[in-house]
């Protein structure tokens, strides 16, 4: 039974799907978002972990959304409030010797004047390179078909952006982009803890360690995010990341879009090689002029589209995409404020990192290559309740941590492994915050496989598809999808698996909307 007819149906109400819906509805199109989960937001969601205690259950920091998108969609008027901006970062040490990163400076008892000066140089160099790449990250991936003068000029513009760095910095950029972050940081710094803390920004959410090729690229990707966010740095939406998604949904609805939750798409309807709508799991069919998928590429093209409509080469490429996440998420409800060594109570709301040295990052990374769990992890910790009391009952705190590196565990021992690993992480935290174990009132560890289940992301990967040279720019996630169109006419993609990549940016959603409006390829 066909229940509705829309100009556009969007499969998935993750933040990118909602951004796409808002832009399309503002352009006068009739838009319906169908979200499988009971709640919108995808991996940008807030969830009750225990009675009265709420956490950002996927992403926990807002740092990469362009300020013009936030303003364009009037997110403040639609309820977005930030409980904190420009969070400092504190690298923890179990001896109490912490390092603080605040407003482009670094300090700490064991940070020498030489390392402080090196940090200023490093920060300037990297920001220069990130600035050169930013137009590439912020816009639609260039068209490499070079059939028209416009396409040729776009590619030339890319080369010119790099040449504008000047001869020395262009050469330096081309040198460092190919090496790994471990070697690069060794060139600048002496302090091992300082190097590891910086490396975390390149590695969070990725499938590799500091010695892996491509880790400079992911660092620049992260820096470009800071540059575009209008100075908010690392920010926390009041009410958790779900509050951002709700503001996006309100912006879309105010423009006329309709959003349905608890509506899982079973398949994308294709007629005569053109997408014509979707069929939901309950059998309901919704007809549409075109379909935009916010689901990851594997789900979209291996599950929702009948393979008869795709050529085998394309299917093989999608199947081979690297999409097994290595980042887990820890959530704790604590009976009181934990006391981290080397962190004053007033700084509990900083972003805290546990990454003692780059070698220890590598040691945490190595086991996951062989599907094993690390004996000590590296992690990014946020205590959002230090800024936002609405998340907890009085006196309590919620801690969320991205914990790396876990294998995608599909073995029969998965449950036992998760339980044992949670104990390992709590023991590790106890070394940095003595007494924290006794404060734990509720605990949850989401492994990459749990993230797959909870957010519907194949493989549970932060970026849907690994952000690497082979899946970058006009190759992301595969050349045929690089500009949000697909081999099937009228079917578009708008999720983190597309250019430019993951994080809560909304860029893929905005660019996809642009392509739909152009009817483009
Ligand atoms: C543990 C973790 C921590 C992270 N931390 C941060 C962070 O601090 N800051 C940051 O910027 N980024 C972070 N990220 C990355 C960020 O969360 C993601 O890159 C981003 O949320 C992806 O958004 P999206 O809209 O593209 O896709 P998703 O959020 O994955 O949304 C896709 C939506 O599609 C829906 N869907 C899928 N299939 C169907 C179907 N068949 N029918 C209907 N609906 C369907 C899903 O339910 C989901 O709602 C983190 C990611 C993880 C996993």
CATH number of the domain where residue 30 is located = 3.50.50.60
Banded pLDDT at 1 (limits 50, 70, 90): low
CA dihedral of 257, 260, 264, 266, whole degrees rounded to 10:
-50
For residue 382, the ligand 1 atom closest to its alpha carbon is 8
Helix (H, G, I), strand (E, B) or coil at 116: helix
Residue 219 sits in the same domain as residue 290:
no
Whether 219 and 125 share a structural domain: yes
Provide CB contacts within 8 A for 519, sequence distance 6+: none
pLDDT above 90 (res 182): yes
| One domain for residues 136 and 70 | no
3-class state of residue 63 by DSSP: coil
Q: Let me know if residue 298 belongs to a domain.
A: yes
With cut-offs at 50, 70 and 90, classify the pLDDT of residue 146. Answer: low
Give the pLDDT score at 154: 73
Residue nearest to atom 15 of ligand 1 (CA): 503
Question: In this predicted structure, what is the pLDDT of residue 521?
Answer: 53
Q: Residue 280 belongs to what domain range? A: 2-45+66-83+237-321+458-518
Cα 116 from chain centroid (whole Å)? 29
In-domain check, residue 280:
yes
Instruction: Say if 450 falls within a structural domain.
Output: no
* Residue 245 in contact with ligand 1 by CB distance below 6 A: no
Q: What is the pLDDT of residues 471-494, one digit of tens each?
A: 988 899 999 999 999 999 999 999
Sign of CA dihedral 449, 450, 451, 457: positive
In the listed set 208, 228, 248, which residue is the last one of a domain according to the structure?
228
Pocket probe for ligand 1: among 137, 284, 401, 456, the residue whose CB has the most ligand atoms within 8 Å is 456
Q: How many domains does the chain have?
A: 2
223 and 125, same domain (yes or no): yes
- Which residues on adjacent β-strands are paired with residue 14? 41
Polymer length of the chain: 521
Per the listing, tokens 């137009």 go with: 135
Q: For 80-118, what is each residue's pLDDT tens digit?
A: 999 999 999 999 999 999 999 998 899 999 999 999 999
Asked, for residue 283, whether it belongs to a domain, the answer is yes
| Model confidence at 409: pLDDT above 90 | yes
Q: Which residue among 228, 249, 273 closes a domain?
A: 228
- Taking residues 226-230, report their average pLDDT: 93
Q: Average pLDDT, stretch 430-434?
A: 98
Residue 503 Cβ < 6 Å to ligand 1: yes
Mean pLDDT value of segment 150-158: 72
Residues 241, 290: one domain?
yes
Q: Which of 220, 75, 215 is nearest to 135 (CA)?
A: 220
Query: 258 and 221, same structural domain?
Result: no
CA of 6 to the centre of ligand 1 (A): 25
Residues 156, 71: one domain? no
Residue 363: predicted pLDDT: 97
> Is residue 32, in this structure, part of any structural domain at all?
yes
Domain boundary among 207, 228, 249: 228
Ligand 1 contact via 225 beta carbon (within 6 Å):
no
Domain assignment present for 317: yes
Q: What is the pTM of this model?
A: 0.96
Q: Which of 360, 346, 345 is nearest to 93 (CA)?
A: 360
Q: Do the beta carbons of residue 341 and residue 434 sit within 8 Å?
A: yes
Q: 319, exposed or middle or buried, with CB in 10 Å at 0-12, 13-18, 19+?
A: exposed
Cα(450) to ligand 1 centroid in Å equals 13
Determine the angle formed by the axes of helices 113-138 and 215-228, rounding to 10 degrees. Answer: 80
Rg (CA), the chain: 22
**CA 430 – CA 378 distance, rounded (Å):** 14
**Across all residues in the chain, what is the average pLDDT?**
95
Instruction: For residue 416, give the DSSP letter.
Output: H
Q: Are residues 243 and 218 in the same domain?
A: no
**pLDDT (average), residues 221-248:** 96
Query: What is the average pLDDT across 254-276?
Result: 97
Q: Please report which confidence band the pLDDT of residue 153 belongs to, taking 50, 70 and 90 as the band edges.
A: confident
For ligand 1, atom 21, the nearest C-alpha belongs to 43
Do 221 and 131 lie in one domain? The reply is yes
- Asked whether residue 38 carries a pLDDT value surpassing 70, the answer given is yes
Q: Is the pLDDT of residue 51 over 70?
A: yes
Structure tokens, 346: 């007033």
Q: In which band, very low, low, confident or very high, does the pLDDT at 326 lie, cut at 50, 70 and 90?
A: very high
> Are residues 211 and 270 located together in one domain of the fold?
no
- Whether 89 is covered by a domain: the verdict is no
Q: What residue owns the CA closest to ligand 1's atom 50? A: 59
Which pLDDT value is given to residue 520? 65
Average pLDDT over residues 314-325: 96
Q: Is 385 within the bounds of a domain?
A: no
Chain position carrying tokens 């068209």: 143
pLDDT for the residue numbered 470: 87
Cis status of the peptide bond prior to 115, with omega within 30 of 0: no
- pLDDT (average), residues 430-454: 98
417 or 150, higher pLDDT:
417
Q: Are residues 125 and 223 in the same domain?
A: yes
Q: Are residues 192 and 267 in the same domain?
A: no
């Amino acid at each position: 039974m066909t229940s509705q007819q829309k100009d556009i149906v969007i499969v998935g109400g993750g933040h990118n799907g909602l951004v796409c819906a808002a832009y399309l509805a503002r352009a006068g199109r009739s838009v319906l978002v169908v979200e499988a989960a009971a709640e919108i937001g995808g991996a940008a969601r807030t969830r009750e972990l225990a009675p009265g205690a709420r956490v950002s259950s996927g992403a926990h920091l807002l740092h990469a959304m362009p300020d013009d998108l936030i303003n364009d969609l009037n997110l403040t008027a639609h309820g977005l409030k930030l409980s904190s901006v420009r969070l400092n970062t504190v690298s923890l040490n179990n001896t109490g010797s912490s390092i603080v990163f605040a407003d482009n400076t670094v300090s700490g008892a064991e940070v020498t004047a030489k390392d402080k000066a090196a940090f200023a140089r490093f920060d300037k160099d990297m920001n220069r390179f990130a600035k050169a790449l930013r137009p590439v990250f912020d816009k639609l991936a260039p068209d490499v078909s070079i059939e028209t003068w416009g396409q040729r000029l776009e590619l030339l513009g890319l080369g010119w952006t790099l040449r504008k760095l000047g001869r020395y910095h262009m050469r330096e950029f081309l040198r460092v982009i190919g090496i790994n972050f471990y070697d690069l940081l060794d060139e600048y710094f002496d302090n091992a803890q300082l190097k590891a803390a910086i490396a975390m920004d390149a590695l969070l959410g990725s499938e590799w360690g500091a010695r892996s090729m491509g880790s400079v690229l992911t660092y620049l990707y992260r820096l470009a995010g800071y540059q575009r966010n209008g100075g908010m740095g690392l920010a926390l939406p009041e009410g958790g990341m779900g509050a951002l998604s709700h503001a996006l949904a309100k912006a879309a609805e105010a423009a006329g879009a309709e959003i349905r939750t608890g509506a899982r798409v079973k398949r994308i309807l294709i007629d005569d090689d053109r997408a014509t709508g979707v069929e939901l799991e309950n059998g309901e069919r919704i007809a549409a002029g075109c379909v935009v998928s916010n689901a990851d590429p594997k789900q979209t093209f291996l599950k929702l589209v009948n393979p008869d409509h795709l050529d085998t080469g394309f299917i093989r490429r999608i199947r081979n995409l690297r999409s097994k996440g290595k980042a887990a998420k820890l959530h704790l409800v604590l009976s009181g404020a934990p006391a981290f060594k080397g962190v004053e109570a007033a700084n509990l709301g900083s972003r805290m990192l546990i990454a003692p040295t780059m070698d220890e990052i590598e040691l945490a990374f190595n086991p996951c290559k062989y599907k094993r769990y690390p004996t000590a992890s590296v992690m990014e910790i946020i205590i959002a309740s230090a800024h936002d009391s609405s998340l907890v009952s009085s006196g309590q705190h919620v801690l969320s941590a991205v914990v790396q590196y876990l294998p995608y565990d599909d073995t029969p021992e998965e449950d036992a492994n998760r339980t044992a690993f949670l104990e390992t992480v709590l023991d590790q935290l106890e070394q940095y915050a003595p007494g924290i174990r006794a404060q734990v009132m509720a605990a949850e560890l989401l492994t990459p496989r749990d993230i797959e289940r909870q957010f519907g992301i194949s493989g549970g990967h932060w970026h849907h598809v690994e952000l690497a040279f082979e899946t970058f720019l006009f190759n992301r996630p595969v050349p045929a999808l690089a500009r949000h169109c697909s081999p099937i006419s009228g079917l578009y993609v708008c999720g983190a698996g597309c250019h430019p990549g993951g994080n809560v940016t909304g860029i893929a959603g905005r660019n996809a909307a642009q392509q739909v409006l152009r009817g483009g390829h």
